[in-house]
Structure 1
Amino acid sequence: MFGLGKLLYVILLLINSIAVLSEDRFLARIGWSSVQIDSGFGMSESASVKNKMINLISAVRTLMRIPLIGLNSIVIIYELILG
């Protein structure tokens, strides 16, 4: 019913969903843009959960762009051949 293959599909879909988020259209509207706002008086909020999530989204969008093309192609070919 729910095996390792389905778990890999879910992980791939989640990474795809993070990779296609538009920073200008979506992330900037909700205040999750990678442009850091200076908080003043030398206080940095780099340890907050929100900033960590912003950095994670930015890293996934940067590092996983090319591998996602290959992984998605492999999954599509697998589904077409073995369905």
Structure 2
Amino acid sequence: MPLSFYGLLEASLLMLNGIAVLNRERFLKKVFSFSSLSHIKFQLIFTRFFSVPLIAINILVILFKLLVG
């Protein structure tokens, strides 16, 4: 696949999907060194704010790939 703007968007979408499904206990505690209160606050904000747009963007990308090929 040649490097294009769509390729970069698709790669960033795949990375966001990977972050969204990571196990919090095994990965996020090792990477992010927040205090316990801000860590819980960060997780709640991240999961609530990014879950709906991420699902919508995934649906759009799937529909685009089905239509264009």
TM-score normalised over the length of structure 2 = 0.70
In structure 1, the partner of 2:6 is 5
Check whether the contact 1:19–1:61 (CA below 8 A) recurs between aligned residues.
yes
- The answer as to 2:7 corresponding to 1:21 is no
Runs of 4+ in 1 over 4 A off after TM superposition: none
Q: 2:28, 2:60 → 1: CA distance?
A: 35
The one-letter amino acid paired with 1:70 is: A
Cα distance 1:13–1:68, how it changes in 2: closer, same or farther (>3 A)?
same
How many percent identity over aligned positions?
30
Partner of 2:64 in structure 1? 78
Deviation at 1:31, TM superposition (A): 7.0
1:32 and 2:15 equivalent? no
Q: Tell me which of the two structures has the higher relative contact order, counting C-alpha pairs closer than 8 angstroms and 6 or more residues apart.
A: 2
Provide TM-score, normalisation by structure 1: 0.59
Number of residue pairs matched?
Answer: 62
State the structure with more CA Rg: 1
Amino acid across the alignment from 1:50 = S
